[in-house]
Structure 1
């Protein structure tokens, strides 16, 4: 399966039909809609109707009326007919799709450095092809009662080079019967949910060739891992809970009654330098901000552009020990994992936007307290391309080993650019038809980001992108109140993005002068800006 400068093709996966379609990567170009096609202006209202429709109460901190944030499908613009072009690879037959059917495209396999190498196209260099050996090994698992040891034995048959150094202790702790299942270039791939399940089945059974070596300089050293071998090796409660979520996903997609029936689009967006904002000259005032002291991006932010606090290798440690915001979302929506198959490490001017993934599981906790809780029945509506109204954008924050490094103009420019690339909408769609952004303390955990600074950066990026912002502080009520006060100060003084950028530059100068004086308390960025513009925060 594939995307590159030429043609891309995809064939069968773990017993599935052929699945290819071509597309040529080109310059950044949005493809979703046409401004002349839109739903009626009466199709949505800025009231609390959305929460009533969703069957849930408005979260604490939500405001209604004129400042209510827009969500899909209420603000959705009608899409053009689904078709492949030089910027968009479509892996299903679009003619059949226009007649209400989802069937894979047929095409010729390509085995080169620009395409995903599929296991069944491995070059034959022995009496038996590698795919024939793979099929024979996996067929032994189709009888009832196949054990975790049987899975390990089968995987090692066609991965003999790793038979001694791959261990499966983590898989053995979940020994129930198991069901069977490239940078600087903008391009999108749309595929069916069934095709995704086939690819993930191959990932589970570690069939993807040339994807096991991850050292620098290796063929796929700049890509995330996709085969599940590392997950199987982790003997920990985290692995057990991840496998519960994954097995529930596979159970769901292999049952005829619950098999998913839609499409998902994965779009890598690379913003050329001539489109980067000149931050100190931006005259936009801040767009609306709603602060939620509690609630979740994926739940209360439903219908918004939801931010994945990503690693530059999308998915982060999802197939290892990682269990923070990104990995948890990938466990709730395992279709996200397939992005690791074809998404090279993100550069500073790039993001990955995923549209249409389904939520399969409810989870609770974080890190060592994470647990699979229950199945999730996702009844979210679908758009004209049969994609669930769920759009996620993966943007990776800088990992500041020394937190003081973030208070430099260079660091702030990098984070502003990354956020803007992620938040920027399709230029063909008016802002009135662009959903708000649901985000939070992006890069503020292990990456040591300053939540106050990160909030201001995201507010600025959202304002230039002409989108409103919903900010979740994840039960940190003190932060929520401070952020609300800071926003009120900035709005009351009509502070533009350019002015705020210059204030942040001043704060960087202040911070660098004072961080050596350990006896002297350094003001935080909110205090500094408030005093600089002559407003005392406590007066609001």
Structure 2
């Protein structure tokens, strides 16, 4: 079995029970940490030469070197570039050199957290049945093996600094279905792509901030899977007479601005982060660029399977933005005032869940709709709700009031908006959320969403009835007996 250490840029020294850098890398990084007076790295060109020396040989070192030279020489003002090379880059490298120490600290922290959780759960019969995951040392969280990892924001900054310098080993990541973590692909894609330049602006802004003043919070990364196999069967839903939760439709605003009372849905790729470190620049990639600590999960969270989602709690947002896709651009600093829980995590819960890509007409089949609904249900289930006396033991109860979502899987993935919106509504209702805030992003396909929701509420439909309507519509759509969308069909049928 592959060792976790094979995915790290540092080596485990068994005789001393510690991690360490190779002598050559430690010397090179040590010089860079002293600043331009010692390292002579003071421009895009000299930084490019340094990257060629230290980046993992399996990365695209040439492309990365060309990209950073272009970025710092031609895309950044001289004053900003000078600050980066004189202050920020040495600070980043100091964080890199602290990685061995921070990894050991995380192991000890996870042990203490696990002990605290176990003590509070000792007399609870829910321990075996509630799906409680005890905090783990940093490791690969493999598919079908739920788990939660807590790390400090400082360790997150150290990991991201290593990724910026392209230090992580690459060779085994594909084999274990892990997304890329090094930033050579970001650097290599900036020529002729303004949105890539602005993604890099966001990342550099993050490093400027944390190297000036290191935040002291915690972030948790959780792999969740749907253990309730009854929910994977159609009968679970057709016999389910729970009431539907409140559903609010918003044509203005963005999910990331909803505030701390709502969990935020990440319209994810099955590989966490999607194309954030490549050319992608849509919903998931933008969210990860604004809050780079989300990128850290890409180090140890492999591909999601059909009954899995990923939940990240506590990430801080550092940047503002405007535009979307090719028009995305950095719009300055963002100061995140979100309150923290007793563990130091911000009340920012990101639910990464991947829709089925390019399903075509098959998305009207019962099994495909069931897959999408169960994926959302898995994402919306709160393990913290089941064990609220544990994670919220010495602090206030969870403050989350609802789900903030939108056109999940309905952009590049080609999903049907009316169907996907209704499936998310059912999933949130079964998971026990009081409300769904649905951001339409002014998509024309959502024009009748508000009207359809009003109709469903007036008819007092429950989960079973709405699911039954979706199944009936799917049959008619597949048999070519109806061509209109679900909203139009629903309103015409029920009037």
Say whether the fold is shared (TM-score over 0.5). Answer: yes
For the residue of structure 2 that corresponds to 1:207, the secondary structure is: coil
- Which one of 222, 230, 240 corresponds to residue 267 of structure 1? 222
The 5 A counterparts of 1:84-483 are 112-114=2-4, 117-121=7-11, 131-142=22-33, 143-144=35-36, 145-159=41-55, 161-162=57-58, 166-168=62-64, 169-175=66-72, 176=81, 177-178=84-85, 179-180=89-90, 181=92, 182-209=142-169, 211=170, 218-220=174-176, 222-234=177-189, 235=191, 236-255=193-212, 258-274=213-229, 276=231, 278-400=236-358, 403-425=360-382, 426-429=385-388, 434-467=400-433, 468-476=435-443, 482-483=448-449
Give per-residue Cα distances to partners, 1:39-96, cap 9 Å, x unaligned: xxxxxxxxxxxxxxxxxxxxxxxxxxxxxxxxxxxxxxxxxxxxxxxxxxxxxxxxxx
Cα-Cα RMSD: 2.5
Give me the whole-angstrom Cα distance separating, in 2, the residues matched to 1:442 and 1:208.
Answer: 32
Give per-residue Cα distances to partners, 1:129-156, cap 9 Å, x unaligned: 9722222233343432533333333333
**Cα contact 2:178–2:298 (8 A) shared by 1:** yes
For the residue of structure 2 that corresponds to 1:362, the secondary structure is: strand
Query: Is 2:491 the partner of 1:530?
Result: yes
Gaps of 5+ in 1: 1-110, 516-520
Q: How has the CA–CA distance of structure 1 residues 357 and 164 changed in structure 2, closer, same or farther, with 3 Å as cutoff?
A: closer
Give me the whole-angstrom Cα distance separating, in 2, the residues matched to 1:334 and 1:513.
Answer: 46
Q: How has the CA–CA distance of structure 1 residues 165 and 470 changed in structure 2, closer, same or farther, with 3 Å as cutoff?
A: same
Shift in Å, 1:275:
5.2
Shift in Å, 1:503:
1.5
Gaps of 5+ in 2: 15-19, 73-80, 93-141, 390-396
Q: How has the CA–CA distance of structure 1 residues 355 and 371 changed in structure 2, closer, same or farther, with 3 Å as cutoff?
A: same
Give me the whole-angstrom Cα distance separating, in 2, the residues matched to 1:446 and 1:480.
Answer: 16
Q: TM-score, normalised by structure 1?
A: 0.71
Shift in Å, 1:404:
1.3
**Cα contact 2:52–2:61 (8 A) shared by 1:** no
**Cα contact 2:448–2:488 (8 A) shared by 1:** no
**Cα contact 1:441–1:454 (8 A) shared by 2:** yes
**Cα contact 1:141–1:151 (8 A) shared by 2:** no
Give me the whole-angstrom Cα distance separating, in 2, the residues matched to 1:114 and 1:193.
Answer: 21
Give me the whole-angstrom Cα distance separating, in 1, the residues matched to 2:59 and 2:240.
Answer: 57
For the residue of structure 1 that corresponds to 2:448, the secondary structure is: helix
Shift in Å, 1:529:
2.6
Which residue does 2:76 correspond to in 1?
none
275-284 or 356-365: which moved more? 275-284
Give me the whole-angstrom Cα distance separating, in 1, the residues matched to 2:422 and 2:57.
Answer: 50
Structure ranking higher in helix proportion: 2
Give me the whole-angstrom Cα distance separating, in 2, the residues matched to 1:164 and 1:319.
Answer: 13
